[in-house]
A = this chain, B = another copy of it.
């Protein structure tokens, strides 16, 4: 279990998440940076994801859409600040259904020797924006996304013939 922790402190415009994976950091990094992998785990279980643009470098843009079984589309976009590295990435984030509300997302990948600790810090332009994100069900999206990521990492480890002990 990745045992996802989600923290949204009252009165603060932040959401902090942490999850631990029994997989080497380079593999977790790939799952975040390669669109073909990212589309397999991002978001809650009830959606499929199309990644229309994904350019993980300083100033590069991304755009993706979640599709649910009822035919609804939920599109998201942003830009990368700085070049991503094995240590993580910084990017902006905007849900196109609520244009003008932008957050800054910091991803940190920590090699713990026996696996990888994935942390995210999201900061919003206001506490109201943060609360709206919580009310929109981001917790389910993150928790289920992390579960799907874990399954994907297990599959990638099997395919590569290596185990979690493989050095990052």
Chain A positions within 8 Å of B, measured between CB atoms, are 11-14, 58-61, 78-82, 90, 92, 94, 102-104, 106, 121, 123-126
User: Nearest chain B CB to A89's CB is how many angstroms away?
Assistant: 11
Q: Tell me which of B13, B14, B92 contacts A81 (CB under 8 A).
A: B92
Chain B residues near A80: list those with CB within 8 A: 79
Q: Tell me which of B11, B61, B90, B126 contacts A102 (CB under 8 A).
A: B90
- 7 pairs, CB–CB < 8 Å, chain A vs chain B: A13-B123, A58-B79, A59-B60, A59-B61, A81-B92, A92-B92, A123-B124
Chain B residues near A11: list those with CB within 8 A: 11-12
User: Nearest chain B CB to A44's CB is how many angstroms away?
Assistant: 24
Chain B residues near A12: list those with CB within 8 A: 11-13
Q: Tell me which of B58, B79, B94, B104 contacts A125 (CB under 8 A).
A: B104
Most buried by B among A13, A82, A94, A103: A82
Chain B residues near A126: list those with CB within 8 A: 121
User: Nearest chain B CB to A98's CB is how many angstroms away?
Assistant: 13
Contact status of A102 and B102, CB under 8 A, knowing A12-B13, A59-B60, A81-B94: no
